[in-house]
């Protein structure tokens, strides 16, 4: 189905820093708007910001047939409730009811990473593959499992960031050794700055130092990438994806990320099918487009 014969919908991708909103038709982004989440003002205020974005988009684009909202944390798509978000702080927020009461539109609701995964599967790097795994690597790490073209939608599924990779670091979840404790953007910076006299503020600085021969940067990056490779090898042994799609801020490293992960998988996989490794092609619009996909499905 082409974008031109799909419904016009609104998609909201809610993050800890901002809400990305789009007026969409399939994967075509007709207009975008952004609002600050302002989580520092409290979880109730962050909910109000989501409702403000929903109402403002509905007022501006009254032709929209449905609205989709995707959020982080533990998301129950059956009840329409955001049960938990460590990052934003809300508990048991009935987003579907609140947004339907406000706009009177059908409401699609999903987890932000799973929404990004279905968007990449249908319109992005995963197009043409029945089984894929979408893994954003940013301030956290999670995964979207696509099986036979459909998202595996369980509130607790895909938490690959909490796989034990024996990092030696304590994770924010309270357990030692998680992938998130060594391979996220903040973790890479913490590891580097703790061993160096520099005080870097971005992963790109670590990469630049690595290319300039900085031994600490080389070590920290290798540890981070090897941990990702370990986790993806484990995933491949269990679910055999045809393609693994990497997103999030750390994925901007490009070949510095893809090449060592590919080498690691080559060293670990023997009889298993070797998945293609790719960078997400929809960028930070993936979640918003995914929200639109879930909105359109609610209108059928």
Instruction: Please count the residues of the chain.
Output: 300
**Residue 5 tokens, joined:** 């014969």
> Among the residues of 26-142, which ranges form H helices?
43-60, 95-103, 112-123
CA distance 152 to 157: 8
Reported pTM: 0.90
**Residue 72 tokens, joined:** 């982080």
Environment class of 1 (CB within 10 Å of its CB; exposed 0-12, middle 13-18, buried 19+): exposed
**Residue 42 tokens, joined:** 């409290």
CA distance 117 to 136: 9
| pLDDT tens for the chain, residues 1 to 300 | 445 568 999 999 998 889 999 999 999 999 999 999 998 999 999 999 999 999 999 999 999 999 999 999 899 999 999 999 877 889 999 999 999 999 999 999 999 999 999 999 999 999 999 999 999 998 889 999 999 999 999 888 999 999 999 999 999 889 999 999 999 999 999 999 999 999 999 999 999 999 999 999 999 999 999 999 999 999 999 999 999 999 999 999 999 999 999 999 999 999 999 999 999 999 889 999 999 999 999 866
State the virtual CA torsion across 237, 238, 244, 245 in degrees, nearest 10.
-140
CA distance 118 to 169: 32
Q: Are 227 and 261 in contact (CB under 8 A)?
A: no
Q: Are 13 and 19 in contact (CB under 8 A)?
A: yes
Dihedral sign from CA coordinates of 124, 100, 39, 142: negative
Domains of the chain: 3-117+284-298 (3.30.420.40), 129-281 (3.30.420.40)
């Amino acid at each position: 189905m082409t974008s031109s014969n799909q419904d016009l919908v609104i998609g909201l991708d809610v993050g800890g820093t901002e809400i990305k909103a789009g007026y969409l038709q399939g994967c075509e982004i007709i207009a975008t708007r952004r609002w600050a989440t302002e989580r520092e003002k409290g979880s109730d205020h962050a909910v109000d910001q989501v409702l403000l974005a929903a109402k403002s988009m509905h007022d501006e684009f009254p032709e929209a047939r449905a609205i989709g909202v995707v959020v982080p944390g533990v998301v129950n798509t059956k009840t329409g409730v955001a049960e938990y978000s460590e990052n934003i702080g809300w508990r048991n927020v009935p987003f579907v009811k609140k947004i339907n009461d406000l706009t009177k539109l059908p409401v699609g609701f999903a987890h932000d990473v799973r929404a990004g995964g279905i968007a990449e599967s249908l319109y992005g790097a995963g197009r043409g593959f029945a089984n894929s795994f979408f893994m954003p690597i940013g301030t956290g790490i999670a995964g979207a499992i696509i099986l036979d073209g459909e998202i595996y939608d369980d509130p607790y599924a895909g938490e690959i960031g909490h796989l034990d990779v024996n990092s030696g670091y304590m994770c924010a979840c309270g357990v030692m050794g998680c992938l998130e404790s060594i391979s996220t953007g903040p973790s890479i910076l913490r590891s580097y700055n703790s061993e160096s006299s520099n005080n870097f503020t971005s992963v790109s600085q670590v990469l630049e130092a690595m290319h300039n021969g900085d031994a600490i940067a080389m070590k920290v990056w290798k540890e981070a990438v090897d941990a990702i490779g370990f986790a993806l090898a484990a995933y491949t042994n269990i679910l055999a994806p045809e393609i693994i799609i990497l997103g999030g801020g750390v994925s901007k490293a490009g070949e510095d990320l893809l090449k060592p992960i590919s080498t690691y998988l080559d060293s670990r996989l023997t009889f298993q099918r070797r998945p293609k490794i790719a960078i997400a092609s929809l960028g930070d619009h993936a979640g918003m487009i995914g929200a639109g996909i879930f909105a359109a499905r609610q209108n059928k």
